[in-house]
Amino acid sequence: MKYRELGETGIKLPPFLFGGNVFGWNVEEQDAFRLLDFSFDHGFNAIDTADIYSYWKSGNTGGESETIIGNWLKTKHRDQVIIHTKGGAPDAPGELSNANLSEKYLIKAVEASLKRLGTDYIDLYYTHYDDNQTPPEETLGALQKLISQGKIKAIGASNINPERFQLFLDSAKQNHLPRYACLQTLYNLHDRQDFELNYQQLCISEGVGVLSYFSLAHGFLSGKYRSSEDLIKSSARGSSITPYLTPRGHKILDALDRVAQDYQVKPSQIAIAWLLAQQGLTAPVASATNILQLQDLINATQLSLDQSALELLCHASSYEEVIH
């Protein structure tokens, strides 16, 4: 397996990170352990989560995913696993409510994540959402304290506009503070426009690593959901996939089908292989709820698409027609 450098952190990542948003939602602890063991045994030792996962399930309060991962970590040597987590989501429930990126809140949030994860450090900690009420110097200063205490190794950002992201990078340089080493953002074969127009060249020029979330567009790029009738099979997916059921969406699925047939693999594997071929992307974050899905993800990282396949997919997913 070829590991991928995460920006300028020195952290080497496998070609995809296991998305922990499913833990405590539609994957309970026993099954999560099986999935994480399988992933780890195949060399995929990086996990992405957040303190709010998975509060959206009835009866949950947030922190379920970190707790499950923490219980699993007890069975492994800590230095063999890479943990990414996040804090500061504005819709956080319970004790995580009223989230922001102030020093007081971030220190409390990191301590709570460390406790749930059962570890004394986090490999990469993200500010989950931007907070334009807190000065960048305060946010980065708080993260500097946590880095100096050994509680986090590197920092990243998610859900932040490009102007604010640049502001944080500039503030870090001007004030001799730690800089965001990674951006986690929405990017997949369907949702290309925002990243490619607003972030891609910025991250390349600044040496910032990039991880994609919703790498399979909520499962749409798996090809399982092609009509409103298909969505009836999955109440968990319906509202998130409906916006993809458009002429452009079907054009993308047709291209995925064609390339998948040529390579004798599944559309989801082609979608992941396409991501891995994109300039500036370090690795996708992707979830699996069973071993078969996980094996498909692992196999996808071994695919190398030829130029004609890449051009076909890029043409089918062109967003020029949707720019206003």
User: CA 148 → CA 8, 141, 142, 153, 258, distances in Å?
Assistant: 18, 11, 10, 9, 51
φ/ψ of residue 279, rounded to 5: -65, 130
* Segment 54-60 mean pLDDT: 92
Please state, rounded to an integer, the average pLDDT across all residues of the chain: 95
Q: Which domain holds residue 157?
A: 11-180
Q: How many CB atoms lie within 10 A of CB 33?
A: 17
Asked if residue 235 has pLDDT above 70, the reply is: no
The domain tally of the chain equals: 1
* Segment 41-61 mean pLDDT: 96
Q: With contact defined as beta carbons under 8 Å apart, do 125 and 82 qualify?
A: no
In single-letter form, the type of residue at position 60 comes to: N
Q: What is the pLDDT, as a whole number, of residue 234?
A: 63
Instruction: Say how far residue 177 (Cα) sits from the centre of its chain.
Output: 25
pLDDT tens column, 100-152:
999 999 999 999 999 999 999 999 999 999 999 999 999 999 999 999 999 99
Asked if residue 8 has pLDDT above 70, the reply is: yes
Residue 231: pLDDT band (50, 70, 90) is confident
pLDDT tens column, 249-285:
999 999 999 999 999 999 999 999 999 999 999 999 9
Residue 74 lies in a domain: yes
* Alpha-helix residue ranges (DSSP H) falling in the chain: 29-41, 64-73, 103-117, 136-148, 162-175, 193-198, 200-206, 228-231, 238-241, 247-263, 267-276, 291-300, 307-316
Residue 114 lies in a domain: yes
Residue 293 lies in a domain: no
Asked if residue 245 has pLDDT above 50, the reply is: yes
Residue 186 lies in a domain: no
Residue 312 lies in a domain: no
Residue 112 lies in a domain: yes
Residue 268 lies in a domain: no
* Segment 176-197 mean pLDDT: 98
Q: What share of the chain is helix, strand, coil (3-state, %, to 5)?
A: 50, 15, 40
Residue 244 lies in a domain: no
Q: How many CB atoms lie within 10 A of CB 46?
A: 25
* Percent of the chain with pLDDT strictly greater than 70: 96
- Sort 252 into a burial class: Cβ within 10 Å, 0-12 / 13-18 / 19+: buried
- The CATH number of the domain where 36 resides is what? 3.20.20.100
